[in-house]
Amino acid sequence: MMRAGLLLAAYIVDRLVGDPRRLPHPVVGMGRAIAALERLIRRFCYKPRSLKRGGVLLPLIIAGGAWGLTVLVVWLLSRLSPWLAWAAEVWLISTTIASKGLKDAGMAVYGELLRGDIPAARKALGMIVGRDTAGLDSPEIVRGTVETVAENIVDAVISPLFYALLGGAPLAMAYRAVNTLDSMVGYKNDKYRDLGWASARLDDVANYIPARLTGLLLTLCAWLLRLDWRRCWHTVRRDARLHPSPNSGYPESAVAGALGIRLGGYNVYHGVSSFRAYMGDPLRTMEPEDIRLTSRIMMLAGTLFVCLCAAAAWLWAVAWR
C-alpha cells in the first residue's frame, strides 16, 4: 500500500512541478560522477580491450552507487521519521520521471510552429534532439518532435515507474543512472564504442520489458482517445523491430500508427546524413497538431500506467495478507 501511494504521489509531483532549476537534481550529480569516472578509467586504460573491461565499471559503480546511496538516505531518514523517509522517496522517484519536462519541450516547438516562426521552432527542436535542425521545414520539425516525445515515453515515464513499482526509489534511481550512462557514453562511435558498450547493453536490457508494455499501453491510449488503435497495434507488430534500437521502435511505431503518419527517414548529424527505417504509413502530411496529440498520448500513457502500477501494488498487498 505504501508503494502504491509512493507511485501516485511521485507522478503527481512530476506532473505539477517537473524539475525546478532552483532545486538540485540527482541526474546532475550522476553526470558529474560519470564524467569523473570516465577520466579515471581513461587514465589507466588505453587499448580497446582494457577500455571494454573498464567500461564494465561504469554501470557497476554508477548504477550500483545510485542504488546504495538512495537506500542509505532513505534508511537514515526513516530513523528520524517514517513520513520524512516517505516524502524523500516521493521526491526521488519524481526526479526519475520527466513527463512534464517532455511535454513542455514538445509544446515549446508546437507553440513556435503555430506562430509561424520556423527559425525559433528549429532552435527549440535543437534543444531536445541530436540531429541538425538548420534547414528543416515544418513537417520535418514536426517529425523530429514527435519522434523524440514518442521515443522518450519509455525512458522518461514508463521505465522509471516500472522500476519504482519493483524496488521503490532505490531501483528507480539505479534505472535513471543506467539511462544517464547510455545518454553520455552509450554511443557507437570511435570514442565510446569500447568504453560505453556495457552501459548501452544494460540500458537495452533495462528497457526491454517496459518498451513492450508501452506498445500495449499506447494501443489502449489510442482507443481511449478515439484514434486508430487497430492501425496502432498493427504498426507496432510490423515496424517496431525495424528501429536500430531494440526498444525505441515500440513507442515510435505505436504513435505513428495511431496518428496515421510515417516517422523515420533521413536525418543529418554533424553534417553526415543517416537513414532510419520508416515506421507507419504516410496517410497524410504531418502537421503541428501531431505534436499536441503525441503529448496527450504520452501524458495519458503515464497516468494509466501509474494507476495500473498502484492497483497492482494494492492487489499484491491484499494477496499477501
Express each pLDDT in 60-105 by its tens digit: 999 999 999 999 999 999 999 999 999 999 999 999 999 999 999 9
Cα(267)–Cα(273) distance, integer angstroms:
6
Cα(313)–Cα(297) distance, integer angstroms:
24
Region class of 287: left (phi > 0), else alpha (psi between -120 and 50), else beta: beta
The three-class DSSP label of residue 266 is strand
Q: Are the beta carbons of 154 and 302 closer than 8 angstroms?
A: no
- Which of 141, 127, 124, 123 shows the shortest CA–CA distance to 291? 141
* Number of folded domains that form the chain: 1
Alpha helices in 115-248 (DSSP H): 118-126, 138-153, 159-185, 197-224, 229-239
Phi and psi dihedrals of 171, rounded to 5? -75, -35
Parent domain of 30: 2-320
Position 20 pLDDT exceeds 80: no
Cα(2)–Cα(297) distance, integer angstroms:
28
Q: Cell numbers of 138, please? A: 515544418
Question: What b/e sequence results for 220-230 when a residue is b if at least 16 CB atoms lie within 10 Å of its CB, and e otherwise?
Answer: bbbeeeebbbe
Share of the chain above pLDDT 70, in %: 100
pLDDT digits (tens, 9 = 90+) for 184-242: 998 888 888 888 899 999 999 999 999 999 999 999 999 999 999 999 999 999 999 99
Record the pTM: 0.93
Q: In angstroms, what is the C-alpha Rg of the chain?
A: 20
- Beta strands (DSSP E) in the chain are 263-269, 272-279
